Each structure stands twice: as C-alpha cells, then as structure tokens.
Amino acid sequence: MAIGSPRRRLLVAAAFLLPNLLGFVAFTAGPLFGSLWMSFTDLSLTKHNEYSQTPVQFVAFANYAAILSGAESERFWSYLGNTLYLMIGIPLGIAGSLGLALLITAKLTPTRPASRLKLAAVAAAIGVCATLAVWILTSPEVVSADDATITSAYADLSAYEVARLRGLAATLAMALVSGLAVAGVAFGSVFFRTAFYLPSLLAGVPMFLLWKTLYRPEGGLVNATLRPVVDVAFEMGQIIPQVAWQGTAIGLWLAVGVVVVRGLVAGVQKLMERDAGAAAFIARIFMLGTLAAVALGLGVVCWELPAHAAASISDGRSGFDTPEWLVSATWAKPALVIMGVWLGVGGANMLLYIAGLSNIPPELYEAADIDGAAGWQRFVNVTWPQLAPTTFFIVIMSTIGGLQGGFEQALIMTGGLYDTTVLTYYIYNLAFTDQFQLGMASAVAWVMFAMIFAMTLVNYRLGNGMTNE
C-alpha cells in the first residue's frame, strides 16, 4: 500500500538520490564537460594563472588540427603506434585465459577425497625426488670455493657464490612447483582458480616493480634463466652448418604453410556450406594465425642463428648477449608485452570464461558426441560459439583497457624512455609536467575517446553478429 501522494514519494526518492547525483555532477559530468571546453582553448598553466593577466583564448579546432596533422602529429601518431604495439598481447592473454578455464573445468583430478589424497601423496613423492635431483645437479662442485673471481653481474660475489645461489634458486623453484602441484591435486580446481586469479589482485605498482627487478639486464632472474639457453644456442650455431639451419627454416615454413592453407580452405568450405558459423571460422583463423606467427619466428631464428654466432666471434665475444630488457628501444616494448600477457592470463577473464563454460547446455555436447565430434571439433562447433557473448564482452573491455592502459608501466618501469610512451602517458606529460598544456591534453583525451568509441562500435557490430548465430 502506497503512503503519501505521488509528489511526496517523488520528493523522498529525489532526496535519497541527491547525494549520488551531486557526486556524479561534481566528479564525473563536471570534469567531463570541463575537459571538452578546455580542448577548444589554449589553456596552459604557464600562461594563464593568477600571476599573468593573459586571458584564455578560444581556438576552436586548432588543438585537434595540431594533434592530427600539425606540430604535435608526429608525437601523437608515434605514441598511438606504441599503444597499439602494447595491445599485441591482448589476444594471447584472452586465449590463455580461455585455455586455463578449459583446464580448470575439465575435472582432471579425482572427485573422491580418498583418491585425491593418494594422488597428492604420489605427487609429493615425485616432487621431493625432483627437488633433490635439481639440488644435486646444480651443486657448485665444479667451481672451487676458494675461487675469488668476481663476476661483473653480481658485485662482490665470487664465482662459487654465484653458482651456489643459482643452484639454490633452481632448487627453491622446483620445490615451489612441486608444492603447487601437490596442492592442486589435493584441493582440485578451487586451488588453481585461486592461484591463477592472484596476479590480478597484485597488479599495479608492486607488480611492475617486481617485473622491473626481474628484467634487470645484469643479475635479473629472466636473463639468469635465459643464459643457459643462449649459451646452448651459441654452441649449436657454431657446430651445425648454416645450410642445415637454413634447410630447417625452409622446411618449417613449408610444412606450416601447407597446414595453414589447408586449414583456411577447409574453414572457407565449411563456412560456405554453413557447416560452421562465423565464430568457428574466426577461431580457426586465430589458431592458424598463431601457428603461422610462431613458425615464422622460429624459422627466422634458425636462419639467422649461424650468422649471429659468427658475428659474435668476430667481435671478440664468447657468446650471445642476453636481452637488455627495459633499457633499449629493441627490447623495452617486447618486455612490456610479455609482462602484459602474463598479467592478462587468468584473472577476471578466466572467471568469466569459467562462468560461460558452466552455462553451456550439456545436451549440445551429447549431440556432438552422437555426431562423432570430439576434441577440436567439439571446441570449434560447440564450445566456441556458445562462448561468443563472453568473448564479445572480454574483447570490448580488453580493447578499451588496452587503449587506456600503459601509463603505469611507462611511468614506473621505463619513465617513457626507449620508445615506450603511450597516449595516456603523453596526456600526463602535456597536462601535469613541465608543459602544463591543459587544452592540448584535453584534445588528445577526446581524440582517444573517439577512437575507443569507434573501436567499440566495430567490435559491437562484429560481435553482435557472432552472438546471434
């Protein structure tokens, strides 16, 4: 039963909504329209402040012209390219999240507690043996404890101490992996779901500082792990003739090329015969494209390896140099992409895919089994199309986040150096550092908004067709 007149109820409802409306106007709508107004002016804190009597001039679209084709266009398009480059890892992160979701929902561990306990005991025994093996194999017996040779990568540490620390790190890493395996077997998918989601809780400044330490060219864990691999590659580049390496590269390219062409032809035929929808065709293209990219990269490495080994010897070096992560224009952006993929796998995307997988009707899989579909065919024709709405949402949110992201990484890990400045860091520099050009920064922000809006519309049109299949 309603109490009071409609007018009174309206006033009561408005009173409850008023704090939220005031907050929206003060902290969202107000700054939004304020930045839109500033984008049409030459507002700069160095020219327009209480100590100068220079009035703010309305410049219409001059800021936008300067950004797109004027004085600021070179920097804007360069920083936009950096932003798009860092978004390369988004599809890999989405694919990794889907893979983790499929593994977690596959129910690979036993469902009975007694069976899980027995399997956990077996995993613990294997983990102890593996840890002891690593400890024995990495013991620094090959280096004398009296060797006082100081390595440049680790100041004040002898060669023996460096070998001992590396062996201890390898042993601890194996013990950690073994412990995770035992916990995963004992607790099942709940443990793995929690473990894969933890990086998203730690994302931010602490995680970037951790990765900055890992990426140290001298003494960082990443290069310490890559060092044995690089040394083996250098030795193989000298031993195996160049003709063999080039033949391997050509054979790899031809084999993968045949697989890709046959896969594309089969996908087009199924699409034209309506045996598969657009979602299945896109999944096939993505998988074939990933395979082609990996094969192309491995082939290039095989082709160039002997030449690089010979060049290193001619330069007087005894091996390949490890990458100079974050301190060179060649490796800074790939380092950020690798970190982005690691942070993107799991987290919220994985949970969304788990929810999507749980909502797929079992009847569809039963029908697929009756039709003889298994493995990849089940995934392409049943799982992937049913996950189209989830993928559509993840792609849109990841695209928006990618265009808006990169600021913390550039600020904390590289300082914007080595060609890692992105659009958000560019806006920050224009508005809040030595330039203080609020008008120009606002124009860049609104141009970025227009690009995000356009990409969202494109994704919506494409994704909406996929979800309605």
Q: What is the mean pLDDT of residues 271-280?
A: 65
Indicate the DSSP class of residue 41: B
pLDDT band at 335 (very low <50, low <70, confident <90, very high): very high
Q: Which of 154 and 90 is assigned the larger pLDDT?
A: 90
The pLDDT value given to residue 280: 64
The pLDDT value given to residue 422: 92
The pLDDT tens digits for 27-57 are 888 889 999 999 999 888 888 777 777 788 8
Answer whether residue 17 shows pLDDT above 70. Answer: yes
The residues facing 183 across adjacent strands are none
The pLDDT value given to residue 146: 47
Q: What integer best gives the mean pLDDT of the chain? A: 82
The pLDDT tens digits for 83-97 are 999 988 888 888 888
pLDDT band at 145 (very low <50, low <70, confident <90, very high): very low
Highest mean pLDDT among 23-32, 141-150, 171-180: 23-32
Pick from 422, 215, 174: which is nearest to 338 by CA? 215
The pLDDT tens digits for 385-421 are 888 888 888 888 888 888 888 888 888 999 888 888 9
Answer whether residue 466 shows pLDDT above 70. Answer: no
Q: What is the mean pLDDT of residues 238-246?
A: 86
The pLDDT value given to residue 111: 67
3-state secondary structure (DSSP) of residue 58: strand
The residues facing 158 across adjacent strands are 150
Separation of alpha carbons 280 and 134, rounded Å: 44
The pLDDT value given to residue 159: 66
Answer whether residue 279 shows pLDDT above 70. Answer: no
pLDDT band at 276 (very low <50, low <70, confident <90, very high): low
Pick from 287, 284, 212, 299: which is nearest to 254 by CA? 299
The pLDDT value given to residue 463: 62
Answer whether residue 148 shows pLDDT above 60. Answer: no
Residues in the chain: 469
The fraction of the chain above a pLDDT of 70, given in percent, is 89
pLDDT band at 156 (very low <50, low <70, confident <90, very high): low
Separation of alpha carbons 391 and 99, rounded Å: 13
Residue found under tokens 């580049």: 237
Pick from 199, 134, 130: which is nearest to 167 by CA? 134
What are the start-end ranges of the H helices in 188-220?
Answer: 189-202, 205-214
CATH class of the domain at 63-108+324-469: mainly alpha
The fraction of the chain above a pLDDT of 90, given in percent, is 12
Separation of alpha carbons 194 and 210, rounded Å: 20
Q: Which of 150 and 459 is assigned the larger pLDDT?
A: 459
